[in-house]
Structure 1
Amino acid sequence: MGNRLSKIATRTGDGGTTGLGDGSRTDKDSVRIHSIGEVDELNSHLGLLLCEDMPADLRDELVTIQHDLFDLGGELCIPGYQMITEAHVERLDTLLAKYNATLPALTEFILPAGSRGASQAHVCRTVCRRAERAIVTLGKTETIHEHPRQYVNRLSDLLFVLSRVLNRYAGGSDVLWQHERKRG
């Protein structure tokens, strides 16, 4: 992995390029940098979600996911490098099964609403989907491993499930979309 920063304002990016973890430089608006930025934004939104009240085990799992996302950013920062593995994806599958088992089956679409924690989980989910799209786009022009794409795909599903869990934890329930609601 690349060197740790000891100085933040290096001025090396003033010309519109930035350094990758392998020492090469790329444009700041490249697909790779866009992907890294989306993952970084997701991690920041997860940090905000962690400010909310939630069960301790869920908090610990989200902190682990934050570390995974930092590793994912590192993988995207070093072309050809791999940090996210099948084990990371399987861990999310396990969490999906664990939390989904506690919820009633969905019979209607739900709105991204309810408690503040659940709503923030929905924001994380939508940012995660955007990160996934950016990683898919990157994979069309550059070689990347399959696990980062799979990881963010599972993570967005998990965040949807966790929004439902957090609504229940706050004493509420899913906010259902009312397709028969009066409009206009």
Structure 2
Amino acid sequence: MSISTKAGDKGETSLWSGERVPKDNIRVEAYGTIDELNAFLSDAKHYVKSQKVQQILKEVQNDLFKIAGELASKSKSYVHPIEEIDVERITNYVYGFEGELNLKGFVIPGNTLQSSKLDICRTIARRAERRIITLDRNEKVSETLKKYINRLSDLLFIMARFEENLEGKVEYKKW
């Protein structure tokens, strides 16, 4: 079976739950942005120095498959939704990194190659969140999914600072 089905040649795609929708549908835009984030995380994973950050990125990538699947399912209950335990796990990672870093002001992003990769991922996560909130205005999105995607950008921010800190390159905005 080929991955090229030609079913989308006229500008429509099938959701996981079977419905056909235009390719520019906000639901498709939301899970497409999650897919984009996943691809950029795969790039960042090759640059980060910390084994801990690499492992967390792998976990997040697995979570993003659940999120994309949930967003791609309109009428059926998705079998593997993001859960509160996933939100708690990444929230605890944020708290752990915060405890190690003690940030004290506005940080200028991207002072190492690996932190800049993570900062790009953070901005894509924020865009995904905006798409998900737009979708939620018309079609209900799980509160847990919204919490996870909000927390994810915090995690990506703090991991970028952690990577900078490993090289003594956290730079604060001077006013």
Q: Where on the TM-score scale, by shorter chain, does this alignment land: which range?
A: over 0.9
Can you give the 5+ residue segments of structure 1 that lack an aligned partner in the other structure? Answer: 1-5, 180-184
For the residues of structure 1 that align with 2:93 and 2:146, how far apart are their CA atoms? Answer: 18
Offset at residue 95 of structure 1 (A):
0.6
Deviations 1:119-165 (A, max 9, x none): 11111111100000000000000122111111110000011111110
- State the alpha-carbon separation in 2 of the partners of residues 10 and 144 from structure 1: 29
Does 2:157 align with 1:157?
no
The aligned length equals: 172
Q: Distance in 1 between matches of 2:109 and 2:99?
A: 20
Displacement after TM superposition at 1:18 (Å): 0.1
Given that 1:93 and 1:154 are in contact with CA atoms closer than 8 Å, whether structure 2 keeps it comes out as yes
Identity of aligned residues (%): 34
Is the CA contact 2:63–2:82 (under 8 Å) kept in the aligned structure 1? yes
More helix by share: 2
Deviations 1:85-142 (A, max 9, x none): 1111011111111111100232x21112211001111111111000000000000001
Q: Aligned residue for 2:100? A: 102
1:71 is matched with which residue: 66, 75, 83?
66
Task: Quote the Cα distance in structure 2 between the aligned partners of 1:99 and 1:65.
Answer: 16
- 1:25-81 Cα offsets, whole Å, 9 max, x none, are 100000000001110111111111101142222211110100100111011111253
Q: TM-score, normalised by structure 2?
A: 0.94
Q: Please list, as runs of the form range in 1=range in 2, the aligned pairs for 1:37-56 lying within 5 A after superposition.
A: 37-56=32-51
* Alpha-carbon distance in 1 for matches of 2:32, 2:159: 23
Deviation at 1:22, TM superposition (A): 1.1
Tell me the residue number matched to 1:176.
172
Residue from 113, 118, 136 that aligns with 2:115 = 118
Paired residues of 1:114 and 1:172 also in contact (CA < 8 A): no
- Distance in 1 between residues matched to 2:103 and 2:165, nearest whole Å: 14
CA–CA distance in structure 1, aligned partners of residues 164 and 90 of structure 2: 20
Partner of 1:65: helix, strand, or coil? helix
The RMSD of aligned alpha carbons is 1.2
**Cα contact 1:115–1:172 (8 A) shared by 2:** no
Q: Please give the secondary structure, in 2, of the residue aligned with 1:22.
A: coil
- SS of residue in 2 equivalent to 1:47: helix
Q: Which runs of 5+ in 2 are unaligned?
A: none
- Considering only CA atoms, is the larger Rg found in Structure 1 or Structure 2? 1
Q: Say whether the 8 Å CA contact 1:121–1:159 is kept in structure 2.
A: yes
TM-score, length of structure 1 as denominator length: 0.89
1:131-170 to 2 correspondence within 5 Å? 131-169=128-166
